[in-house]
Amino acid sequence: MGILDEDVARVRAETDIVGVISEHVALRKRGRRYQGLCPFHAEKTASFSVNAEEGLYFCFGCQAKGDAITFLREIDHLDFVESVERLAARANIQLRYDQAAAGRDRKRREVLLDTMTKAVEWYHQRLLSSPDAAAARGYLRSRGYDGGVVRQFQLGWAPDEWDALSRQLKVADDVLQDAGLGFVNRRGRQQDGFRGRVMFPIFDTGGKAVAFGGRIMPGAPPDQPKYKNSPETPIYSKRRTLYGLNWAKNDVVDAGEVIVCEGYTDVIGFFGAGLPRAVATCGTAVGDEHFRMLKNFAGRVVLAYDADAAGQAAAERFYEWEQQLGVDIAVAAFPKGADPADVARRDPEALKAAIQKAQPFLAFRVERALAGADLRSPESRARSAENALAIVAEHPNDLVRNEYIGRIAATCDIPADRLERSIKRVGANPVVRPVERMVRLAEGPELNALRLAISRPADVVDRLEEAMFVEELHAAAFRALASADTLHDAIEHADPGAAALLQRLAVEDTDAEPDEIIALLLERVANRAIVALERSTRESDDIEASSSAMSWLKLTREQLFDPVTRVEASERLVAWLAERGEEDE
């Protein structure tokens, strides 16, 4: 059911976000903003801020952000329509629904899901009984997959023919393409997307088929990828789908634990070993939306792959998810070069033991760092300790870091207080959450200019140009603001980094003087232009023209900081920037 866009906008505009949030958070006014303890993560110092005028909130601790609709969705676990309806009732707004559009969308989704269901069954029956699938059946038997496994996971076979599935389905071109099952070739004929592959159907949490992963047969040409996955479609998003969750969810809930693998065969291996709580990402790295989904099923996530290979990049994400989502992330260790599917075939009990002995992510990495340490000399012990300390320093929690410093001290026979002093010199917790890293740039005139453009646009309208922003993130945020009618529109259409920055700045006050900020931005522009002119003068025959332009820029730059000439000088430089932009186009 689709609510008309103008009614959604009206709900946003007429909702008292402070009133909504105050039902869950004790807010206090600080200047033009309201602050309180974040309801989405545990904290003792208020880092949750609300902009009542724009109807936005942002937490500087966990980066939770959004408007009143988002807040209700997150706090009460509602879907979008439910959240809008509840807010509309509070504001006494009568909602209108685009029944026709909603009906079309629902019918389209049903058609695509029905087509996928038919494809799963056709591929499955082909594997079970078709002569051309004999080699595929032999391959699966060699992997330990008997008929029971094939039926349980509804494995299939895509024959090595151009249009075998397309001819069987007999659906319209757009349905074949939107389901991710095929395409129309240059001759205008339907062609299958999967050929000569063992098919692993992928289901959503409700058990509806939404995609496929296809494995090439051994001995295939080397230019063929081992796995081919369905593209993103109206019914399938890799970021929101985990292979096997439809089968695993009950055991996951019962055990309070979910095992995350890298491949479909790993999941099947865990099920065969008596651990039916494994899932796998679908051709992509585990991400935010996967973890947000998993936290609704279990509080412990065991990574059944070499998470240490991702190094600090993985550490950033894992520590962030632990802190924000309240999950415990552990890592299971496997013999080098072996994956869970291999271990499941050779020794199912060893697979169970690996999960039972899974260690916290930091412990896993520290143990790896110390496992091969040479502890025979003071120099080698110091090097080993330094390597392990660099890993510990990435963790954001002081108490956790101190615990592991003690372990390193005992292993390397170095006093713990010396290691504590060493980690303080290096600087603990260099890991910065992704969004925080994006916005933790110099608190200079660019950010203040963006704050002014958000909170006091009349003071800077027509006085800012994109060329005045050096940082690409800041420039992207400015472009979004300049091309949108409202801040909400700017956030909605900006890229993720710029949108996060705009949401953060929307809840921050600034007492910056517009004239001063504009002058500081333009001074940097003038400085860069002067350097460029000096370089071009050395290479140019028209020295007189370059010198004249340079003199004008230097004089105008000086006038930026004279209260009498500041505004006029700024206007001249902004006009000059605009003219240069037109020339570049």
- Report if residue 95 sits inside a domain: no
C-alpha closest to that of 384 among 406, 418, 412:
412
Which residue range(s) make up the domain with 12? 5-90
**Is residue 162 assigned to a domain?**
yes
What confidence score (pLDDT) does residue 324 get?
A: 73
Among 316, 312, 355, residue whose Cα is nearest residue 333? 355
Q: Where are the beta strands (DSSP E) in 407-533?
A: none
For 127, phi then psi, to 5°, come to -65, -40
Is 442 in the same domain as 427?
no
Total tally of structural domains belonging to the chain: 5
Using pLDDT thresholds of 50, 70 and 90, give the confidence band for residue 574: confident
- The answer to whether residue 355 is domain-embedded is yes
Same-domain pairing of 60 and 158:
no
Rounded CA gap, 264 and 247, in Å? 13
Please indicate, yes or no, whether residues 578 and 452 belong to a single structural domain of this protein.
yes
Residue 100 has pLDDT above 80, yes or no: no
C-beta atoms surrounding 66 within 10 Å: 17
- Pick 442 or 520 by higher pLDDT: 520
Both 556 and 573 in one domain: the answer is yes
pLDDT tier, 425 (very low <50, low <70, confident <90, very high otherwise): low
Q: Per-residue pLDDT for 377 more than 50?
A: yes
**302 and 390 co-located in one domain:** no
Residue 571 structure tokens: 């206007």
216 and 196 Cβ atoms separated by less than 8 Å: yes
Are both 382 and 358 inside the same structural domain? no
Share of the chain above pLDDT 90, in %: 32
Same domain flag for 517 and 580 = yes
The H or E element spanning position 253 is helix 245-255
The predicted structure's pLDDT at residue 426:
52
Q: What is the pLDDT of residues 7-40, one digit of tens each?
A: 999 999 899 999 999 988 888 888 888 999 888 8
Q: Does residue 393 surpass a pLDDT of 90?
A: no
pLDDT tens readout for residues 315-328: 667 877 887 777 88
In the listed set 431, 451, 471, which residue is the last one of a domain according to the structure? Answer: 431
Note whether residue 199 is domain-resident: yes
The residue-averaged pLDDT of 229-245 equals 90
Q: How far apart are CA 289 and CA 282, in angstroms?
A: 13
Helix (H) or strand (E) holding 497: helix 496-506
Assign 522 a pLDDT band (cuts: 50, 70, 90). confident
Are 208 and 307 within one domain?
no
Residues 187 and 303 in one domain: no
Query: Final residue of a domain: which of 407, 431, 455?
Result: 431
335 and 467 in a single domain? The answer is: no
pLDDT tens digits for 207-219? 999 999 999 998 8
Rounded Cα–Cα distance for residues 255 and 244 (Å): 16
Whether 103 maps to a domain, the answer reads: no
Same domain for 84 and 139, yes or no, is no
pLDDT band at residue 437 using 50, 70 and 90 as cut-offs: very low
- The CATH number of residue 205's host domain is 3.90.980.10
Q: Pick the last residue of a domain from 212, 236, 260.
A: 236
Q: Let me know if residue 99 belongs to a domain.
A: no
Is residue 514 located within the same domain as residue 491? yes
543 within domain boundaries: yes
CATH of residue 255's domain is 3.40.1360.10
Average pLDDT, the chain: 84
The answer as to whether 196 is a domain residue is yes
